[in-house]
Structure 1
Amino acid sequence: MPFTENDGISLYYETDGPTDHDTVAFVGDVAFGAWQWGWQHAAVAGPFESLVWDFRGTGRSSAPDGPYSVAELAGDLEAVLVDHGVRKAHLVGAGLGGMVALQYAKRFSRAKTLTLIGTAASGDRIAPDVRERLLAEKTPDALSDSLRPVVSEDVFADGLDEVVEWRLADDADRPAQRAQFAAMEGFDVSDSLYEITTPTLVIHGTDDRVVPVDAGKSLADGLPRGELRTFEGAPHLVHVERSKAVNDELVDFLAANAEKTFD
């Protein structure tokens, strides 16, 4: 159970898979714990080494007072990768995590590829009314209701009891949620996307109510090596609801840009 520190902040991470293969580092969405990557982990750990870490304010990492910034979170990611001895990493980020991956690729040299899920180049693309619905006290009813903007109505109606249990254990408390949302709101690389030449796969659900699909299209268009995959009718948590199709796209993209995978 490795921990590392950045500017006095304790950061927790876990790895799985062969250490002599490419590392895929997952960078989570605002307020959500590591549970959000459970649908990708099995697909990645094996052909690659998987690394999942808790943002400051989330899971087992420290929860300093906010607000946070995307630059600080990118610095946290660098501390984790340095601690694990990673020379290059494929970064897979969702929402806020995609913003962190973009900032990381601008500032540091370890990003081999980026996969950005439900991500925008600027925090002003986040729907403000939805933001308030995503903020939730850590009670079962509140956490369940706050999933409405990020999943489809059918999935919500079927019940999300297991996800709520994971959220109770690992998600950020409300002050840290607000601190992470502040990081999103203060982020903007829309005028400097041309500087990010890392190969990038942009994945977006067409029914994303948090980050409009047009923001994903603009992101892919603005990146010199960006390519877009949209999923018709999929919500913000497209990598959860359409995990098989998303995983197929992800693994193909990673394999095409990997130094070494299993045969």
Structure 2
Amino acid sequence: MSDPLPFFTIGDGPPLVVLMFTPDAANPTGLARWSATRMVRPFARHFTVHVVNRPAGLPANITMTRLAQVYADGLATMFDHPVPVLAISTGASIALQLAADHDNLVERMVLGGTAHTLGPIGKHAQRNYIERATAGRRPSPALATVVTASTVGQRLISGLLWLSDGRKDRTDAVAVLNAEDGFDLCDRLSDVTAPTLIIQGERDRVYPIEFARRTAEGIPGARLVVYSGISHSGTFTDKRFARDALAFLVDDAVI
């Protein structure tokens, strides 16, 4: 039997599953918990929001297909019917694989900041993260290149990320990012049958906008909303994100 998925819940109403990447295979705590709760709070007015994470101890060579199976097994024990899914970034890559492989579990989904595969900059940054973590170095500075194209900005952000990156075991994070490194659902996008909305920042450096457009075109009936001038992380903090996602998930949603 698969290990249960760690999750925390807020709100009241029908279920909404939220998938996002966290460095730790556990419920977030401290600032990470505050940040996750702040992002999903608008949805908690309409749903019982289940912020679901991966179990600890993933195999180092796990694939995205196998990772989606882990989530599928866990969600099947939590719910006896398809549920809507809200997923961002790497969590949305998992959601895409989940929807393609296990369409009986996903009722509809909103994907923020994602595509059928990583772009070159995102792939390079994640590989750098993996190399640093494997070598026992603080890995998060590797992600500075996906935040800004400015060399000066990258140096500043890299330093801030280094300061905020505690010396923790990143084995599970590396396993997930390795799985995403090999992830490319381009040839299987038509297998995603759940109604899908993709929300993407025009200046997303992790999953380029042209990749997001290709993804939306490949999923039958999918819609794409583009935020002009917005970066990858800026997509999820934009005030329009909850409004647009809820308009898709709930007919009479009022923010």
Scaled by the length of structure 2, the TM-score of the pair is: 0.78
Per the alignment, residue 50 of structure 1 pairs with 49
Gaps of 5+ in 2: none
Residues 189/129 of structure 1: CA separation in 2 closer, same or farther (3 Å cut): closer
The superposition leaves residues 80-131 of structure 1 with CA deviations (integer Å, 9 ceiling, x where unpaired) of 3233235121111222221211121122202111111221213566643222
User: Following superposition of structure 1 onto structure 2, how do residues 109-188 of structure 1 map, counting pairs within 5 Å?
Assistant: 109-123=104-118, 127-135=122-130, 137=133, 142=138, 145-151=141-147, 168=166, 173-188=169-184
Q: CA deviation at 1:168?
A: 4.6
The secondary structure found in structure 2 opposite 1:64 is: coil
Q: Do structure 1's residue 68 and structure 2's residue 67 form an aligned pair?
A: no
Per the alignment, residue 214 of structure 2 pairs with 218
Instruction: Write the distance in 2 (CA, Å) between the matches of 1:231 and 1:54.
Output: 27
The secondary structure found in structure 2 opposite 1:224 is: coil
Instruction: Write the distance in 2 (CA, Å) between the matches of 1:246 and 1:32.
Output: 25
The superposition leaves residues 143-172 of structure 1 with CA deviations (integer Å, 9 ceiling, x where unpaired) of 663452444588x9799989x76x759xx8
8 Å CA contact 1:123, 1:186 repeated in 2: no
Q: CA deviation at 1:65?
A: 3.5
**2:231 paired residue among 202, 215, 235:** 235
Per the alignment, residue 58 of structure 1 pairs with none
The secondary structure found in structure 2 opposite 1:15 is: strand
The secondary structure found in structure 2 opposite 1:43 is: helix
Gaps of 5+ in 1: 56-60
Instruction: Write the distance in 2 (CA, Å) between the matches of 1:127 and 1:161.
Output: 19
Q: CA deviation at 1:249?
A: 0.7
Q: Which has the higher helix share?
A: 2
**2:191 paired residue among 191, 195, 200:** 195
Per the alignment, residue 24 of structure 1 pairs with 16
Per the alignment, residue 79 of structure 2 pairs with 85
RMSD value over aligned CA atoms? 3.5
8 Å CA contact 1:125, 1:215 repeated in 2: no
What letter matches 1:245 in structure 2? R
Q: Do structure 1's residue 249 and structure 2's residue 248 form an aligned pair?
A: no
8 Å CA contact 1:207, 1:234 repeated in 2: yes
User: Following superposition of structure 1 onto structure 2, how do residues 30-45 of structure 1 map, counting pairs within 5 Å?
Assistant: 31=23, 34=28, 35=32, 37-45=36-44
The superposition leaves residues 190-241 of structure 1 with CA deviations (integer Å, 9 ceiling, x where unpaired) of 1121221211111111121111111111111111121111112222223443
Scaled by the length of structure 1, the TM-score of the pair is: 0.76
Residues 134/189 of structure 1: CA separation in 2 closer, same or farther (3 Å cut): same
What letter matches 1:51 in structure 2? H
The percentage of counterpart residues that share the same residue type is 21
Q: CA deviation at 1:137?
A: 4.6
Instruction: Write the distance in 2 (CA, Å) between the matches of 1:245 and 1:32.
Output: 28
